[in-house]
Every structure is written in structure tokens, then in C-alpha cells.
Amino acid sequence: MFVAPRAGELAPARPSGTALLTDISLSDQTAEFAARVESARKAGAGDFRFRVMALAAAVAVMVIFAGVIVSLLAGAMPAFRAFGLSFVVTEAWSPTEETFGALASIYGTLVTSVLAMLIAVPVGIGIAIFLTELCPRPLRRPIAIAIELLAGIPSIIYGIWGLFVFAPWFQLNVQQPIIDATDGIPVIGTLLGGAPYGIGIFTASVILSVMILPFISAVTRDVLETVPGVLKEAAYGLGCTTWEVMWRVALPFARTGVVGGAMLALGRALGETMAITFVIGNAHNIDSSLFSPGTTISATIANEFTEATGALYTSSLIAMGLILFVITFIVLAAAQLMLRTMEQRAGK
């Protein structure tokens, strides 16, 4: 007959096995048996309570997520009601006239993120390949840790550094020569024209690319390590060069994971706030030049929210927050599905 032992008795080790046997034989005696049943019932109740607490905490995570969506929707309602669809397709942003259009911010968010990805994806994959294939073994860990520290540095530090150190240097040594060199060339001259402000869309993109670099290289490194050694050895055995092994064998194998990692980084880039707020210039316009100041959704909210007077102004900023959340949600959800697929494949 099975009798559940008292929970508390398990903690101290029993002196010997015989004590356990005595316990069981004693348990047929009624008083002892009743006490056992009672303590088992208590342990069961405690077990149930614990389970409920764990479940409640898991539900809490869902509730927070739902709360974010519901509260943003509620806060954004006045703005959407006042402007309708024109909110996302007009550029005008005038607190004094109470007309708000998010287009300039949405444009800035998308352009900075795309530019940052153009820089960070090749560099991040390069770092990952360097670390998995080319780097001398003793140097691998230190370099990997150093690259990952880049992800640990808070956004605001990138911001203050970008504003005081990077932007002035960039203005003098990169922007000015490029503007001079491309002046007069169609398209490129326009894209890289204007005055060298130092701060602006392009500067923000460069800083952003460094911030998301570690995410791309870390995920890529992880998935490259799941490539079976025999695949690479077979390719090397056929006489392939390192480049051919990486480009034709390892990367195609790890493709889903690499794309997933890039999407994860894109999600970060879209929502990045403080670093951009420092270096983008916060101008509500869409300029043909990438060197001109602009703004992003997050930078606009960070700059203007506490100073927003009037319900419509606040609501418009919250509406932009909702748009940002929806965009990042889609990107991050896609990233997760890809990384999950990769994980499952690695598990098999």
C-alpha cells in the first residue's frame, strides 16, 4: 500500500534505510496513518498552491502583453479618430496648429534601420565566420566576449559618445569630403548632398549598425556552430576554399537562423531610442539627402512626450508608439518563428 511521506521529512537525510521500513510498517496503525494522510493532504494542497502561483506568473506575462496593446490602443484612439488614415501618410507635424502626421517619423525609423542593416549584416556575418573558422582558438573567446560587450553598453552611452565624439569627427573627415566629391553627380549627389551637420539620418544609422552588430554576429555564430562538421570536412576534402565552404555549404545550411538573427537585430534597430535621439537632429521632415537631420518614431516620442500639451498631441505620440509596436511585433514574430525552426532542426 502506498503512503505519501511527509514533505518535510525529505530534507534531512535519513540515517539508514531501515528507518524507512519501520515507518511503513508503523503506518498501518490508525493514529499514525491518520497523521500521514493529513500531512499528505497538506503537501498536496501546498503543491497545488505552488502550481497555481507558477501558472499565475505565466498568465501575468500574457496580461502585461495584452495590457500594452490595450492601453496603447486606448491612448491612440483620439488621434486616429481625428486624423484617420492621413495620420500615417502626412508629413505635417505642427503642435501649434494641432495637426499631426507621422510620416516623417515612420520614414526616419525605416530608413535608419535599413541603412543600419546594410552595414551590420555583412559585418556581423563576417565576424561570426571569423570567430568560427579563422580565428586562432585561444583568441576566440576573448574576441567573442568583446564583441558581445558592445551589446551590453547602454543605448544612452552610444548616444552621448555619438553626439560629442563621433558626430564632430564624422562631419569633418567623412561628410565634408563625400559631399564635395559627389556634388553634381545625379542621384548620388542628391542622396549625399546638403550641408555637413554631423548629426543626421546617416550618423544615426552608423551608430545603430554598431549597436545591432553583436546580435547578428552572436546568432550567426550560434547557428554556424550547428553546421555538422562532416559537411564542412566533406567540402574541404573536395578541395573547396574556406570561402567556398562558408558561402556554398555552411551559410546555406544555417540560412534560416542567420535570417532570424538579422530580423531580431532589425527589431532592435526599429525600436532603438536614446542613441538615435542624440544624433539624428530631430527634424520633422523628409529630406532627399541622407546626411540631413531627421527623426524616428522613438526619438520623437522621447523628445516631445513630456512637453506635449493637449490631449491630441499626447494621443498622437501614443499612436506613433502603437505603430512602432506593431511594426516591431511583426518583425520579431517572424524572427522567432525562423529561430524556432532552426532550433528544432538542430535538436533532431
Residues 286-305 that bind another protein (CB under 8 A): 298, 301-302, 305
Residues 184-223 that bind another protein (CB under 8 A): 210, 213-214, 217
CA 206 to CA 269: how far, in whole Å? Answer: 11
Cβ closest to another protein, residue 4 vs residue 231: 4
Q: How far apart are the first and last CA of the chain?
A: 42
Cβ closest to another protein, residue 193 vs residue 267: 267
Say if CB 314 and CB 305 are below 8 A apart. Answer: yes
| Residue 267, burial from CB neighbour count under 10 angstroms (0-12, 13-18, 19+) | buried
Residues 227-246 that bind another protein (CB under 8 A): 239, 241-244, 246
Residue span binding another protein (CB under 8 A) among the ranges 110-118, 156-164, 192-200, 226-234 = 156-164
Cβ closest to another protein, residue 39 vs residue 190: 39
346 binds another protein (CB under 8 A): no
User: Could you say which of 135, 178, 179, 346 contacts another protein (CB under 8 A)?
Assistant: 135
Radius of gyration for the alpha carbons in the chain, expressed in angstroms and rounded: 29
Side chain identity at 107, as an amino acid letter? Y
Q: Which three cell numbers stand for residue 162?
A: 555619438
Residues 39-78 that bind another protein (CB under 8 A): 43-44, 46-47, 49-51, 53-58, 60-62, 64-65, 67-68, 71-72, 74-75
Say if CB 34 and CB 42 are below 8 A apart. Answer: no
User: Could you say which of 102, 104, 106, 318 contacts another protein (CB under 8 A)?
Assistant: 318
Helix (H) or strand (E) holding 99: strand 99-100
Smallest gap from Cβ 193 to another protein, in A, equals 27
Residues 89-108 that bind another protein (CB under 8 A): none
Side chain identity at 144, as an amino acid letter? A
CA 224 to CA 34: how far, in whole Å? Answer: 60
Smallest gap from Cβ 227 to another protein, in A, equals 16
User: Could you say which of 77, 174, 286, 332 contacts another protein (CB under 8 A)?
Assistant: 332
Say if CB 342 and CB 263 are below 8 A apart. Answer: no
Smallest gap from Cβ 187 to another protein, in A, equals 27
Q: Which residues, 6 or more positions from 250, have their beta carbon under 8 angstroms from its beta carbon? A: 224, 227, 231, 232
Smallest gap from Cβ 179 to another protein, in A, equals 24
User: Could you say which of 174, 179, 274, 286 contacts another protein (CB under 8 A)?
Assistant: 274
| Residue 261, burial from CB neighbour count under 10 angstroms (0-12, 13-18, 19+) | buried
164 binds another protein (CB under 8 A): yes
